[in-house]
Structure 1
Amino acid sequence: MTRLLTHLRHVDLAVPDYEKQLDFYAGVWGLTQVAEDSGISFLAAEGSPEQYIVRLRRAEEKRLDLISYGAATPADVDTLAEQLLAGRAQLITRPGTVDTPGGGYGFRFFDVDGRTIEVSADVATRTHRRIEEKESIPVRLSHVVVNSPDLDRTRTWYEQHLGFALSDSLASPHMGEVMHFMRISNQHHSMAIAKGPHTSLHHISFELRGVDEYMYGTGRVLRAGVRKIWGPGRHLAGNNTFSYFLDPHGNTVEYTTELERLDEDSWHPHVYDFSQPEVTDQWGTANAMSEIVAKESFNDVDRGCFTAPPV
């Protein structure tokens, strides 16, 4: 199908301890709070033209509120909505005015696992700046990874309904395929789908300026006492660096840089055996991948499946 999505805009989280979560993202993690209203905060990356890349909402239960993608034009938004309806996807809203910072034109719908997805166009850009050398704060949102109990069903749905393409997969002789890296541009992945015991958020990844800034950031977060799960290292699939931490509500967040850009005309997906240590970490500097590390990113069962967020 024709690719109508352009990029990842933001990831929205609901949490019971709103103040603690806000202190983490607007403090040690390095985002900038740009707006707040009645228990909802919008957090931007200083190097990104997006109005915000993370939204936090005060709620009784932890959940993933939504994942938001951009489209080039309102006409593309309308076309995508029509295609989703024709494919029997469940729309939450019809295309119309978006009532969040930057405005725009968009709509929301459920994916095959019940996550709320938003697509929008004509969102005003935010004044941003060049991140300086040794400045260890996020430049932009890099990618999001979700857990699915039916890996191939979710992959097929995103290919058929949203125009994602497969870049690479991870597998092992004992477990079969466990992750699909999916793209909507020449960026190796804007999303990945991990095999998990339930539908949930796996991790949110934030791009830093370069390897030096990524290492400074990793060290800064470690010195702040934030629990590190895995890293620092460099993956084979995507060729990006990684340092994974837990936010105060147990969501995994990643600092990364140098995610691979592909020649889409000549690219052929690989299936990498993640039981080989050089696949998970080319450098050999990270703590070894293990079941304990993997389970940290299973996260809690998402309470938001097929339930739209209130805002």
Structure 2
Amino acid sequence: MAIANHGASVPDLIAVGSEQENVEEWRERCNIDQSSQIRLVKLAHMRYQHPDLDQITTFLQDFGMTVTKKTDQEIWYRGYGDDQYVYYARKGPKEFLGGTFTVESYEDLEKASKLPTASSIEKLSDSPGGGFIVKLTDPEGFPLNLMYGQAPAEKGEYPEKLTINYEQDKPRTRRFQRFEPGPAAVHKLGHFGLCTQDFETMVNFYTTTFNIVPTDFLYVEKEEKKHNVALFAHIDRGADYVDHHSFFISTNATTHVHHCSFEVHDFDTQKLGHQWLAEKKYESVWGVGRHILGSQIFDYWWDTTGNMIEHYADGDLVNNQTPIGYGPAGDESLAVWGPEVPAWFLK
């Protein structure tokens, strides 16, 4: 008997579907010169400016972060992973200050500092873990930060993995599931996304300047031709496994940051975190649900300054053997289950 309501962990070559492209073929088609790229390692932290640091601190603590350092004008927040901080806040009018990627070497920072919009290399003397940073802007004016030399933090306590009972596989005997309500503790920063008016220019900049590789493109059809309008991209680390996307770009009528997203432990953690934020009267955007591309369980909220921020759990991993997927854009491509997507979500 066929099972209609069914989930499975499907190999990437199958799950991507028939519209796919090998990464090496894509590089050749797009004339990607890997030798000239600035080599990213991972996405480390977000940077925002907020008018009320006390208010955003209360929110971010309810969201699951902890303060690691604080001054009158700046605050650094961490998760329980090995990043010194996953979020940096500066006092001032609402402003997006960019995502921050770590790079492989100091030489990568030197290469970055020669880009047309880049700053000189600055020492992060006041930031936890130290290191060096280069700040630049992309073709649409979004700020972007590159960091090297930060000392890793000592990892915090990791939550226990739940033992799950299934119909015919029941390893959890005489052990009962019990939970403590509270914020959904943040592990690390997973991704952030930008809405752009010049999609092709932005895709070209990020995929040629850095070792950023498409995981999925979404397209619309016009006059019997397919036009890419959204990109989910990962950091190419060769055979090493990385998150399905650390970065995304979506075509839009206006230029603005869409959201940033932080990993939490599991589904129960996420639901308890949703309940916690709801009880504190924060404004939910969309969730809890399950994405299709990336497979993450998602939960989007507005912070107290009006920025969108997300919890996620159970995301896909890819490497250089995962093909690039192509699929139609639309609300139906966003989630397999969850509340109805807000009509303005992609706008």
TM over 0.5: yes
CA distance in 2 between partners of 1:223 and 1:20 (Å):
17
The match for 2:6 is none
Structure 1 177/230 Cα, relative in aligned 2: closer, same or farther at 3 Å? farther
TM-score (norm 1): 0.84
Structure 1 293/66 Cα, relative in aligned 2: closer, same or farther at 3 Å? closer
Report the secondary structure of 2:293's partner residue.
Answer: coil
The match for 1:299 is none
Decide which structure has the larger Cα Rg and report it: 2
Report the secondary structure of 1:22's partner residue.
Answer: helix
TM-score (norm 2): 0.75
Equivalent position amino acid for 1:138 in 2: V
Superposed counterparts of 1:96-245, under 5 Å: 96-99=122-125, 100-133=127-160, 136-173=184-221, 177-185=228-236, 186-245=242-301
Report the secondary structure of 2:63's partner residue.
Answer: coil
The match for 1:304 is none
Shift of 1:255: 0.7
Superposed counterparts of 1:72-91, under 5 Å: 72-81=104-113, 85=114, 89-91=116-118
Q: Which moved more, 1:191-200 or 1:251-260?
A: 191-200
Equivalent position amino acid for 1:76 in 2: D
Equivalent position amino acid for 1:183 in 2: H
The match for 1:8 is 43
Deviations 1:36-76 (A, max 9, x none): 1222111111x2211111111111x2111232110122233
Shift of 1:234: 1.1
Q: Percent identity?
A: 20
Structure 1 199/210 Cα, relative in aligned 2: closer, same or farther at 3 Å? same
The correspondence for 2:88, drawn from 55, 61, 64, is: 55
The correspondence for 2:339, drawn from 259, 274, 286, is: 286
CA distance in 1 between partners of 2:272 and 2:221 (Å):
37
Equivalent position amino acid for 1:155 in 2: V
Counterpart contact for 1:92–1:110, Cα < 8 Å = no
Counterpart contact for 2:229–2:329, Cα < 8 Å = no
Shift of 1:33: 0.6
Gaps of 5+ in 2: 1-33, 161-178, 237-241
CA distance in 2 between partners of 1:192 and 1:292 (Å):
18
Deviations 1:149-199 (A, max 9, x none): 112211110011112111102334579543211111432111111222332
Determine if the alignment matches structure 1 residue 254 to structure 2 residue 302: no
Runs of 4+ aligned structure 1 residues displaced above 6 Å come to none
Shift of 1:211: 2.0
Report the secondary structure of 2:195's partner residue.
Answer: strand
Determine if the alignment matches structure 1 residue 24 to structure 2 residue 59: yes
Q: Which moved more, 1:123-132 or 1:171-180?
A: 171-180
Q: Which moved more, 1:127-136 or 1:65-74?
A: 127-136
Shift of 1:96: 4.6
Counterpart contact for 2:46–2:100, Cα < 8 Å = yes
> RMSD in angstroms over aligned alpha carbons?
2.1
Deviations 1:97-120 (A, max 9, x none): 223221113322221122222212
The match for 2:15 is none
